[in-house]
Amino acid sequence: MSEKKQDTTHFGYQEVPVDEKVKRVADVFHSVAGKYDLMNDMMSGGIHRLWKRITIEQSGARAGMKVLDIAGGTGDLTRKFSRIVGPSGKVVLADINESMLRVGRDKLINAGAAGNIEYVQANAECLPFADNTFDILTIAFGLRNVTDKDAALRSMLRVLKPGGKVMVLEFSKTDNPLLTKAYDFYSFNILPQMGKLIANDAESYRYLAESIRMHPDQETLKEMMAGAGFVNCRYQNMTGGVVALHTGIKP
């Protein structure tokens, strides 16, 4: 009897069956959810707040707009968008992982965030929203965890309104050899140790470092976005390319 070979993909540096990647990514975020915000501040020295602020500034968000923050996790971008779009607008905080979504929802409610936020458990690859719904869609530090990135980009295009903007904030490739060396040392030696000390989880933070190295570089992601159907695709490096903000428009 012939056996169908299962499709594989990468989980960090490992080659794993597609289903296993989904489960292992879920395990990572179930494990880190409670300490996610603290670790973000510790790992980045708080710089992630600046990267997110720049994303908001470049979004063009205005009162009354509808925003989808997919892979929104603990809701940093959602919270900022919620203030800008105001009572006549709406922000959907969506994430595949119920632990991250719960931490995000509790945090935003405790912070008194506005009633214009909806919380939805959803996979970026098959978004459960009608065509042409959102003015702006953000995915911050989420795309590299998605198994089928092309499917996710097509799904994002579908739910955006014509003229709507997608913003992909993600770790990327540094172009300065010295910075790359220091960044590699930090990622593979210090980061897992911090993960162990603070979150009692070195493995998840090793995956973080590996998944960043496996993520498409700036030009490749730009081509993928154009391939999915976005126009005016461009990117801006931040912190020497440690992070890049890609944007595209739905025609």
Q: Which residues bind ligand SAM (CB under 6 A)?
A: 25, 29, 70-74, 76, 95-97, 100, 123-125, 140-142, 145-146
Give 4 or 111: the residue with its C-beta nearer to ligand SAM.
111
Kindly state the helix (H) or strand (E) to which residue 248 belongs, with its residue range. strand 243-249
Residue 2 CB, nearest approach to ligand SAM (Å): 31
Q: Whose CA is closest to 69, among 122, 114, 21, 109?
A: 122
Closest to ligand SAM by CB, 71 vs 209, is 71
Toward ligand SAM, which CB reaches closer, 65 or 168? Answer: 168
Contact at 8 Å (CB) between 99 and 74? no
Identity of the residue, 70 or 136, whose beta carbon is nearer to ligand SAM in the bound complex: 70
Q: How far is the CB of 56 from ligand SAM (least distance, A)?
A: 12
Continuous H helices in 4-75:
18-32, 36-44, 47-57
**Which residue number, 100 or 225, has a Cβ lying nearer to ligand SAM?**
100
Task: Output the smallest distance, CB 66 to ligand SAM, in A.
Answer: 18
Angle 116-103-127 (CA atoms, 0-180°, nearest 5)?
Answer: 60
Q: Which helix (H) or strand (E) holds 146?
A: none
DSSP state of 143: G
Minimum distance from residue 226 beta carbon to ligand SAM (Å): 21
Rounded to whole angstroms, what are the CA distances from 242 to 11, 115, 145, 160, 180? 20, 35, 17, 28, 9
Instruction: Give 232 or 236: the residue with its C-beta nearer to ligand SAM.
Output: 236
Contacts of 54 (CB under 8 A, 6+ apart): 238, 245
Q: Cα(133)–Cα(130) distance, rounded to whole angstroms?
A: 6
Ranked by CB distance to ligand SAM, the top (closest) residue is 73
CB of 11 to ligand SAM, least distance (A): 12
Q: How far is the CB of 100 from ligand SAM (least distance, A)?
A: 4
